[in-house]
Amino acid sequence: MLVELPRKVRTASGTTLELVRELGSGGQGAVYEVAGGRHAVKLLKETGAGSTRDWAIRLRDLRRLPVDGLPLARPIDVLAPPLTGYVMELVSGMAPRSRVAKVRPGEHAAEHYRDTGGLRRRLAILAGVADALASLHARGLIYQDPSPANIFVSEDVQRSDIWLIDTDNLTFTGASGHTVYTPRYSAPELGSSGWSANTLSDSFAFAVVAYELLTLDHPFVGDELYEGLEDDELNALNGAHPWIDHPNDASNRSTRGVQPRDLVLGPELKSLFQLTFVDGLRQREHRPGIGRWATAFRAALSSTVPCTACGMTYYYYTSQDRCPWCDDAPRPATLGVWVFLDLASMPTPTVGETDNSLRPIERATVLAVENQEILLTRGTVLGEVPNPGRPMFQLCWSEGYLLIANYSGQVVNIVSPDAVRSQPLADGAVGKLPAVVDRAMWSVRVARKDRPDRWLCFMVNPGGPS
């Protein structure tokens, strides 16, 4: 849709808006930023007074959906005829995700990767998108069209905020109606079999977006298809060709993008991509749900460290002495944080006493380098709880000490390595613990009424050899 900018449009309520920049386009129409950066307008290809009335009814229904508190661009008004479209909320300083993954002509892929935030920022963006989609699914809704044009991210590469637009496509799971999707990112059954969208088609589309953002490569467009006919590529997007990283079928391999893949795909993420693109390509019941993706991306994000030489971020492995991107700077020393679920703290239902034979279960691992502040959220410490993104603890490891700020809303206990001594840490207070290599550290016990206790355990890991 070609629109000469700037252009003024009027809403049904009589407000005049100036369109200043195209943000993205697709099969339904195009999205434009409104002057001021707080709103956007979606111009649809369909026109006429009847279409405007239909959209007014549609937007009325959308306002009733249970989406409060989610990062969604909610529609707020329709356009006046002869145009068809609507006005939506927009957060300033955001741009389509497609700009993060697209390497400009003449730009080196590694430089682009670093300059757009590197691995850590990509993992944070994808964790945020997965969390938003998981919240929608938990409310009985599906998004239908997770694609780069509909996922907005912070233009500031130091931030990883996300914002989902095109929310006129939201619908309840199982509802009849028109299925909306972007062919390059849709689940194959939506285009070939006429199936309706559901949470697992959302999950597939998200996986394509995630794989492309991490690897700078499409999961089904190998080298031959990339250089071949458009019809061949279309067949690949419909699932006619294997995943380019298929473990047993090398017929569609790609040498493009980030190589080797282990630089950006940790073991758990690689497993989820295989479940989606191999096991779940034709049988969507085998695909992992979006909640599992959210957990995996948060865990992957927590295991990355920065390189002081090249500016990249990478997965921390003790078997790896140097940065895998540049092989120059040694692996930094890190503070490891382990979150454990203490089943032994719960009384047994038969005798009412604790069972000390039960071993703690590791819930999460987080790594921090010196002078890096990290937040442990309710979701990280407690699991599936209300307000999972709310901070519980802020940690900073510096000059041989770990500072712990308690924002949990309760008193927690700092316990000595031999478990003999214990000190309370009040809500809002800051504790200071010695934190050096080869020295046992104090732990934090979070007691929960009628629930297993949580423990935060710490250890300083030495860096790689210089």
Q: Do 40 and 31 form a contact (C-beta atoms < 8 A)?
A: yes
Higher-confidence position of 286 and 29: 286
Is there a contact between 331 and 463 (Cβ–Cβ < 8 Å)? yes
Locate CATH 1.10.510.10 in the chain.
Answer: 95-301
> What is the residue type of 177?
G
| 85, pLDDT greater than 90 | no
Residue 188, pLDDT above cutoff 50: yes
Average pLDDT over residues 63-81: 87
- For 133-175, what is each residue's pLDDT tens digit? 999 999 999 999 999 989 999 989 999 999 998 888 898 887 7
381, 456 contact by CB (below 8 A): yes
What is the reported pLDDT for 124?
94
Count of H-run helices and E-run strands, the chain:
11, 23
Tokens 């993420």 sit on residue: 269
Least confident of 12-16, 119-123, 171-175, 369-373: 171-175
Res. 261: pLDDT tops 60: yes
Give the confidence band of 381 by pLDDT, cuts at 50, 70, 90. Answer: very high
Return the structure tokens found at 346.
């719960």
Bridge partners, 335 (sequence order): 368, 460
Q: Is the dihedral of CA 396, 400, 406, 410 positive or negative?
A: positive
Tell me what the mean pLDDT of segment 6-35 comes to. Answer: 86
Q: How far apart are CA 235 and CA 123, in angstroms?
A: 29
Could you report the per-residue pLDDT of 443-457, keeping only the tens digit for each? 999 998 878 899 999
What is the C-alpha to C-alpha distance for residues 207 and 219, in angstroms, rounded to an integer? Answer: 9
Question: pLDDT band at residue 352, thresholds of 50, 70 and 90?
Answer: very low
pLDDT at 353 over 60: no
Residue 167 phi, psi dihedral angles, 5° rounding: -75, 0
Q: How many CB atoms lie within 10 A of CB 186?
A: 24
Look at 159-168, 232-241, 285-294, 321-330 and tell me which has the smallest mean pLDDT.
232-241
Q: For the chain, report the end-to-end CA distance as a whole number of angstroms.
A: 56
Coil, strand or helix at 435: coil
Given pLDDT bands bounded at 50, 70 and 90, which one contains residue 68? Answer: confident
Q: What is the pLDDT of residue 351?
A: 42
Cα dihedral 418, 422, 427, 433, rounded to 10, equals: -50
- Strand 422-425 with 162-164, pairing: unpaired
Does 54 have pLDDT greater than 80? no
**CATH top-level class for 7-91?**
alpha beta
Q: Are 329 and 393 in contact (CB under 8 A)?
A: no
Global pTM reads 0.88
Give span(s): CATH 2.60.200.20, the chain: 333-461
Taking alpha carbons only, the member of 97, 90, 94 closest to residue 72 is 90
Average pLDDT on 183-188 reads 88
Q: What is the pLDDT of residue 300?
A: 94
Phi/psi for 221 (5° steps) reads: -110, 95
Task: Please report the pLDDT score of residue 339 as a whole number.
Answer: 94
DSSP 91-124: -TTEEETHHHHPPPTT--HHHHHHHTTHHHHHHH
CATH 2.60.200.20 fits 333-461, yes or no: yes
Q: Is domain 95-301 classified as CATH 1.10.510.10?
A: yes
pLDDT at position 347 over 60:
no
Q: How far apart are CA 191 and CA 195, in angstroms?
A: 8
pLDDT value at residue 350: 45
Helix (H) or strand (E) holding 458: strand 453-461
Q: Is 390 exposed, middle or buried (0-12, 13-18, 19+ CB in 10 A)?
A: middle
| Percentage of the chain modeled with pLDDT above 90 | 55
Cα–Cα dist 144/224, whole Å: 30
For residues 244-270, average pLDDT: 95
pLDDT score, position 192: 64
Give the mean pLDDT of 221-239: 75
- Better pLDDT: 295 or 345: 295
CA distances from 107 to 104, 113, 441 (A): 5, 10, 46
* Least confident piece of the model among 10-24, 42-56, 385-399: 42-56
List the structure tokens of 466. Answer: 């210089």
